[in-house]
Amino acid sequence: MLQPNVVQFAFGTDAAATLVNNGTMSFAVSAQAEADDGPANAFALNDGVEQSVTGENGATATYDNEAGGALVVTATADAVSPTVAVADAEVTFAVAQFVTVTGDGDGLALIDNDGLITALASANAVGGTAAFAAAEVEDGLLQIVTVAGEGNAAAQINNQGTVNVSALSDAQAGAGAVAPAPDLENAPEAVATAWVDRGVSQTATANDDPATEDVAALASVDFNNGGTLAITASANADVVADADVGAAQFGNAFATAGVGTAVEQVAIGNDGADADASMNNDGTLTVNAIADASGLDRMHSRSSTTASGRTFSPERSPS
């Protein structure tokens, strides 16, 4: 199992983890596979910064990416084969904060970004008979705050800088094939998928004690965007001809790109606790899902494109 590039663990009665970045943190994983004959498989997986904080009476995780700070997390997979090429690139997260209070107390996850945060998964496959390229980013920014006893749970992100979350895939089949395809069913096939599960994901769970008469506990998730949040999923699949042998007379190309959720906010208040989900956008939020598939010949090719995206920000009342 891959460990994140930067990990902070804090355990105690009152526990806290803080990371301040005013420089450049660049974490890159690259996988390259090239075969003279036979298949080629390349797989790249990368994580960014993880903060895991557990406290009995309180817990806080803080990531401060200052104006001069840059956090870049990339996974790149490249595969080339005269037969079958498979490239798979995945980024689990750029920043992930897991905050847990085991008793009574408050839990806070805080991300302040005035600089640059990038999560990029890129997959490229070139195969003679088949090419499969898949790129995925699970979460750009992830916060999960849980208070088991009585207390407030808060997940907050303040973005005045730039957050880029991108999954890019490109598959090319046909070039380098040793013989022309006899029919469509045996034709070269190019399949490209690009997916971003969540650009921003925030979950806070708070509990209250119904027997007490004090102010109710609060579960809150807040996303304040005064900068730029750009989420992109782009898939391109092509079947191309080999000029030397005219190999790809037929071709199948399939491309799928999607963004599951741009911003997901979930606030849960149990046993009389209140819940609040808040999103304020004074900046720029863009979501792009682009799929392009191109067979060799309009009369002798199959292509399929799918693109999707959504934003989800529910407010849950106390159960």
Radius of gyration of the chain measured on its C-alpha atoms: 23
Q: Measured between alpha carbons, how far is residue 163 from residues 29, 71, 104, 271 in Å?
A: 20, 10, 34, 36
- Supply 226's token pair: 């005064």
* Each residue's pLDDT expressed in tens, for the chain with a length of 319 residues: 456 789 999 999 999 999 999 999 999 999 999 999 899 999 999 999 999 999 999 999 999 999 999 999 999 999 999 999 999 999 999 999 999 999 999 999 999 999 999 999 999 999 988 999 999 999 999 999 999 999 999 999 999 999 999 999 999 998 655 445 555 556 788 999 999 999 999 999 999 877 776 788 999 999 999 999 999 999 999 888 654 434 445 678 889 999 999 999 999 999 889 999 999 999 999 999 998 888 765 333 343 344 443 444 344 433 3
Q: Where are the alpha helices (DSSP H) in the chain?
A: none
Q: Determine the pLDDT at residue 33.
A: 97
Strands (E), 82-217: 84-91, 95-101, 106-113, 116-127, 130-150, 153-159, 162-173, 189-207
How many CB atoms are located within 10 Å of the residue 23 CB? 12
* pLDDT confidence of residue 188: 83
Token look-up 């030397």 returns 244
Q: What CA–CA distance (Å, rounded) separates 64 from 67?
A: 10
**Taking the C-alpha atoms of 128, 31, 94 and 7 in order, what is their torsion angle to the nearest 10 degrees?**
160
The pTM of this model reads: 0.89
Distance CA 229, CA 223 (A): 11
List the structure tokens of 126.
């070139």
